[in-house]
């Protein structure tokens, strides 16, 4: 089973930000796979640059999901994320999408991520990962989205 983390950026050289966070995460978790980088328009808060996103797959770590989420938030802060506009522009955004096949619903964390099926920038790259074979057995995967994501490489 896998830990699946979605990464996103739309400020300060987003592609470099994704490469940097992949390197950081790979130093802490056992890296398995990465999707290509995708580009999409913003959702929710629209007055901002397009986003670049990538989905990463790691082995499930020994830490609890909440501890990993705290760690991801610290990485966001360390890389300069400022939270002054809800869903606004960001240097980096990190979300746990899946933690194997577990479901979790706490005040701090919901797994699977509650809006992943609405986001082309998560679904499209996720489809490239081996873990998707597990996912598609459990969920009805949408075929179109209001805002579409496209691979850049």
Q: Domains along the chain?
A: 2-151 (3.30.70.560)
**pLDDT number for residue 83:** 87
Phi, psi of 97 (to 5 degrees): -95, -50
In this prediction the pTM is: 0.95
**pLDDT number for residue 47:** 81
If pLDDT is split at 50, 70 and 90, which confidence band does 7 have? very high
Contact 3, 57 (CB under 8 A): yes
**pLDDT number for residue 43:** 86
**pLDDT number for residue 40:** 95
Residue 37, CA distances (Å) to 18, 19, 71, 106, 128 in order:
8, 10, 23, 30, 11
Q: What are the tens digits of pLDDT across the range 76-122?
A: 999 998 888 888 799 999 999 999 999 999 999 999 999 999 999 99
Q: What are the tens digits of pLDDT across the range 26-76?
A: 999 999 999 999 999 988 877 889 999 999 999 999 999 999 999 999 999
Per cent of the chain over pLDDT 70 is 100
Phi, psi of 101 (to 5 degrees): -105, 15
Mean predicted confidence (pLDDT) in 138-145:
94
């Amino acid at each position: 089973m896998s830990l699946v983390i979605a990464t996103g950026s739309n400020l300060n050289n987003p592609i470099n930000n994704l490469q940097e966070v992949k390197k950081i995460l790979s130093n802490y978790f056992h890296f398995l796979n990465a999707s290509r980088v995708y580009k999409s328009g913003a959702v929710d808060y629209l007055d901002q640059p397009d986003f670049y996103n990538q989905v990463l797959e790691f082995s499930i770590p020994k830490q609890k999901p909440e501890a990993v989420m705290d760690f991801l938030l610290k990485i966001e802060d360390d890389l300069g994320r400022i939270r002054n506009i809800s869903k606004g522009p960001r240097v980096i955004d990190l979300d746990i999408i899946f933690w194997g096949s577990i479901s979790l619903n706490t005040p701090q964390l919901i797994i699977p991520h509650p809006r992943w099926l609405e986001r082309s920038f998560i679904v499209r790259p996720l489809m490239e990962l081996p873990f998707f074979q597990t996912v598609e057995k459990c969920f009805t995967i949408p075929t179109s989205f209001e805002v579409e994501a496209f691979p850049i490489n």
